[in-house]
Amino acid sequence: MSGRLSRKSKVRKGTTAVSIACVFSGLATLAGSSRGSLDNSDWVQLSKNDSLAIFARARPGCPIKELRAVGAIDAPNWVVKNVIDGVEDYPSFMPYTTKTKIIERKLNQVISYLRLDPPLVGARDVTVSVSCEAQKHEDGTTSYRVHWEPVNSLGPSPSPGVTRITLDQGSWILEPTDGGKKTIATYTILTDGGGGLPAFVINFANRQGVENLFSAIRKQIGVTKYSLNRPAD
């Protein structure tokens, strides 16, 4: 798949919450072959296998690396979107997530609180604002772009013993492939996980977190409820 999204594409913003049978070659080039408007400058490939490629790049003035992962998911992209939208279910399958709460739903936005309890480093939490765009292509297929950023002032006050995450921004781009039966997912994340650790430790943990996220979503898509209702385009 190549080329940018058509300027004449129908764009519909919707609500969402805040991460393989398709084996393909050339994963290293997929981050630059998406129909989404991706910034492909300065990315360095860290790893690649048949199901996932991970890239990193430096951000000026920030010791934490921004990560991008590109992988195939054996389900239609709207099913993957339903999994990502299901923030209420995160404690049952998302790595280290123990509590979630929807703070507010708007037409173009969902504000959610998430509590994480990773081992060794202690509890963390963050409130994020998440939005989604559905972009219709000339061939009749639809891609989804999910974006989030922290809005801690709109969530619960800090709790004793829980580290507040202030750097946490990222996106998903979910593109149809194989006639819409499968998905090419591009996940981008920049977070320090609440800080308090050396940058090299955070960078390593973030990379492991990306791999675990894709594994969790690939397992969760098998839950029947996510394939019952297709989002409106």
Residue 222: partners with Cβ closer than 8 Å, 6 or more residues away:
none
Angle (nearest 5°) at CA 55 between 52 and 56? 150
Which among 50, 13, 43, 52 is positioned nearest to 135, based on CA atoms? 13
pLDDT category at 233 given cuts 50, 70, 90 is low
Q: Distance from CA of residue 219 to its chain's centroid?
A: 15
Q: Helix axis angle, 199-220 relative to 77-85, nearest 10°?
A: 120
Paired tokens of 178? 């194989």
Mean predicted confidence (pLDDT) in 40-51: 88
Cβ burial of 143 (10 Å; 0-12, 13-18, 19+) is buried
Q: What is the spatial distance between Cα 27 and Cα 119, in angstroms, rounded to a whole number?
A: 31
Tens of pLDDT, residues 54-102: 999 998 888 999 999 999 999 999 999 999 999 999 999 999 999 999 9
> Phi-psi region for residue 141, left (φ > 0), alpha (ψ -120 to 50) or beta?
beta
**DSSP letters along 12-44, please?**
EEE----------S-HHHHTTT-SS----TT-E
Q: Which tens digits make up the pLDDT trace of 134-193? A: 998 888 889 999 999 999 999 999 999 999 999 999 999 999 999 899 999 999 999 998
Residue type, 47: S
Beta-carbon contacts of 192 under 8 Å, excluding residues fewer than 6 positions away, are: 64, 165, 166, 167, 202
Whether 19 shows a pLDDT value over 80: the answer reads no
CATH domain 11-223 topology:
Alpha-D-Glucose-1,6-Bisphosphate; Chain A, domain 4 (3.30.530)
pTM for this prediction:
0.81
Per-residue pLDDT, averaged over 111-140, amounts to 91
Task: Specify which residues 62 forms β-bridges with.
Answer: 59
Beta-ladder partners of 80: none
Are 56 and 43 in contact by the 8 Å Cβ rule? The answer is yes
**Per-residue pLDDT, 223:** 97
Mean of pLDDT values over 94-121: 91
Q: Is the pLDDT of residue 215 over 50?
A: yes
* Res 8 pLDDT > 80: no
Model pLDDT, residue 131? 95
The pLDDT confidence band at residue 121, using thresholds 50, 70 and 90, is confident
Per-residue pLDDT band at 40 (split at 50, 70, 90): low
Instruction: Share the mean pLDDT of the chain.
Output: 83
